[in-house]
Amino acid sequence: MAVIKTNSEDVKMLARLMRAEAEGEGELGMLMVGNVGVNRVKGNCMDFKNIRSIPNMVYQSPGGFEAVQKPYFYQKARDKDVRLAQRVVNGERQHPASNSLWFFRPVGACPATWYDQANTGRFKAHCFYAPNPEDCPTVY
């Protein structure tokens, strides 16, 4: 059962985003990027108020994803990536991205906080950050 409202084109768009942002991190890294995207749609909080769909989330400006500015994002979604995106839409969560609204790839160590959100951990090159539960209860 989906945790956010989507259609097949939305899932393909999420799949393209996950691939463009984290293909080098493998399937688990891609799932984590998907977690962040779904959390932003689900959250309706902080910088993501009124982000109610996958397209709203992907193309949010400011605050969106760097990948949409690169041609790699605009490739056709692969079947295996669509399956990963559907898992995330269905509610599968991966730590440290389970409740995260942000991730980024620092040059060095992960800062303890980023945009006032606590670091929840690192997976390969990406650091993940989650809000306090009282600031965004719908991602918990």
Average model confidence (pLDDT) across the chain: 96
Q: Is 108 in contact with 125 (CB distance < 8 Å)?
A: no
Q: CA 25, 43, 54: angle at the middle one, nearest 5?
A: 60
Question: What pLDDT does 62 receive?
Answer: 85
Q: Is the pLDDT of residue 63 over 90?
A: no
pLDDT tens digits, 73-89 = 999 999 999 999 999 99
The one-letter code for the residue type at 45 is C
DSSP state, residue 134: T
Contact 52, 44 (CB under 8 A): yes
Give the number of residues written for the chain.
140
Lowest-pLDDT range, 29-38, 62-71, 73-82? Answer: 62-71
**129, containing H or E segment:** strand 126-130
Q: Does residue 7 have a pLDDT over 90?
A: yes
Using one digit for the tens of pLDDT, what is the confidence trace for 92-125? 999 999 999 999 999 999 999 998 999 999 999 9
CATH architecture for the domain at 8-101 = Orthogonal Bundle (1.10)
- Per-residue confidence (pLDDT) for residue 85, from 0 to 100: 98
Say which amino acid occupies 54: I
Residues 110 and 127: beta-carbon distance below 8 Å: yes
Helix, strand, or coil here: 132? coil
Structure tokens at 132: 């306090």
Whether 45 and 131 have beta carbons less than 8 Å apart is answered as yes
pTM summary value: 0.96
Domain coordinates in residue numbering, the chain? 8-101
In the prediction, which pLDDT does 64 show?
Answer: 85
